[in-house]
Each structure stands twice: as structure tokens, then as C-alpha cells.
């Protein structure tokens, strides 16, 4: 998880230095695919590698890959509009959104203590955001042009929604017998 976040920030810096954003995203996905395939080879030998590079297995995970790709793209755009640290703080909204959608879509049950802890995290992130940004006016008014901050918030919200959707779809995909490291290769293919 931490390596993924570091990768997104590092690749965003590379894209600012004259590298194209799609090329940087492709290199990131390729690196993950190679690592997932390599671990599959080391752990399960030839059979693991063949399973990791099997295109028929990738198709089932195409929606997961697409949503993660969209999330990464939106995160990179958000980092170009807002501070990377601020985007990381806003990205913590993934947890409450994931809980809400998993309750609605996957019929998950949470205890009152769990919901209270999640509510506290949500309120802390919201308070930090309001204190950090202050008044941004009404970015969605008909006559107001979208500010750099508004575009950053929109990209961050889209990144959160895309990553949460990908996580929920991946949860279903990971319930099978395929090892997680092979699934990483499938998702990144």
C-alpha cells in the first residue's frame, strides 16, 4: 500500500518533468505486472508464471484494472492542482466511502464501535480540510469558473470513487483460489 502511494507521487513528479502522464502510468503498471509475475514464478514455479500471464484470466479483472487506472490518473491530476500531502489527507476519505458502499452493495455489517471510529476519522479529515483550505467560494455556481483548487477537489473525489469501486470489485475477484500475487499480475496486465 505504501509502495503504491510512493509510486504515484514519484511518477507524478516524473510526469511534471517532461514525461507524459500515460507513459508514466504504463511504466508503473508494467513494473507491478513484472513483480507480480516474478513472485508467481518464485512461489509456484512454471505453473504460477503461466497463470499470471494468461490473458483469459485478465479479462475477468479488466473492470478492476480500469477503475484503478482511472483512480491513479485522477490522483496524478489532483496532485498537479493541490499539495501532494493534502491530496493524501483527502484520500483518507476512501475508508468511510468504502464502508458505506460495502454496507449498501455487499450487505456488510459493522459494529457501533467500528462505525463510530470511522465517523471520527471522517470528521477529522473534514475538519483538517476546512482548516487547510478555508473558503473556496461556490465552485459549482453557474457563473463561477472552476478554480485550480476546485479541479483538484473534483479529481480527488473521482480518484476516491474509482479506487473504492475497484476495491469492492477486487474483493469479489480475490475470493477465488488464485493467489493474491498472481491476481496483482492479472490486474496490472
Structure confidence by residue, pLDDT tens digits, 55-67: 887 787 888 888 9
pLDDT of residue 142: 53
pLDDT of residue 176: 64
Residue 1 pLDDT > 50, yes or no? no
Kind and range of the H or E run holding 26: helix 21-52
Q: How many domains does the chain have?
A: 1
Residue with the bigger pLDDT between 128 and 9: it is 128
Average pLDDT, whole number, for the chain? 76
Q: What is the mean pLDDT of residues 126-155?
A: 69
Residue 120 to residue 133: CA distance in whole angstroms: 20
pLDDT of residue 13: 61
**Strands (DSSP E) found in the chain:** none
The set of cell numbers assigned to 176 is 477465488
pLDDT of residue 158: 95
Domain that holds residue 158: 2-188
Global confidence as pTM: 0.66
Amino acid at each position: 500500500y505504501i509502495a503504491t502511494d510512493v509510486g504515484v507521487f514519484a511518477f507524478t513528479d516524473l510526469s511534471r518533468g517532461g514525461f507524459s502522464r500515460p507513459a508514466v502510468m504504463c511504466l508503473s503498471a508494467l513494473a507491478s505486472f513484472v513483480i507480480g509475475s516474478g513472485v508467481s514464478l518464485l512461489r509456484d514455479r512454471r505453473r504460477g508464471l503461466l497463470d499470471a500471464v494468461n490473458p483469459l484470466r485478465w479479462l475477468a479483472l479488466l473492470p478492476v484494472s480500469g477503475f484503478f487506472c482511472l483512480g491513479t490518473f485522477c490522483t496524478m491530476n489532483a496532485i498537479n492542482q493541490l499539495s501532494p500531502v493534502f491530496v493524501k489527507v483527502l484520500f483518507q476519505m476512501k475508508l468511510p466511502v468504502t464502508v458505506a458502499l460495502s454496507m449498501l452493495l455487499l450487505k456488510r455489517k459493522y459494529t457501533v464501535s467500528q462505525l463510530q471510529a470511522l465517523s471520527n476519522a471522517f470528521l477529522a479529515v473534514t475538519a483538517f480540510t476546512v482548516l487547510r483550505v478555508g473558503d473556496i467560494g461556490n465552485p459549482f455556481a453557474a457563473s463561477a469558473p472552476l478554480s485550480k483548487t476546485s479541479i483538484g477537489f473534483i479529481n480527488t473525489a473521482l480518484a476516491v470513487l474509482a479506487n473504492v469501486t475497484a476495491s469492492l470489485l477486487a474483493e469479489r475477484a480475490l475470493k477465488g483460489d488464485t493467489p493474491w500475487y498472481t491476481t496483482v499480475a492479472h490486474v496490472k496486465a
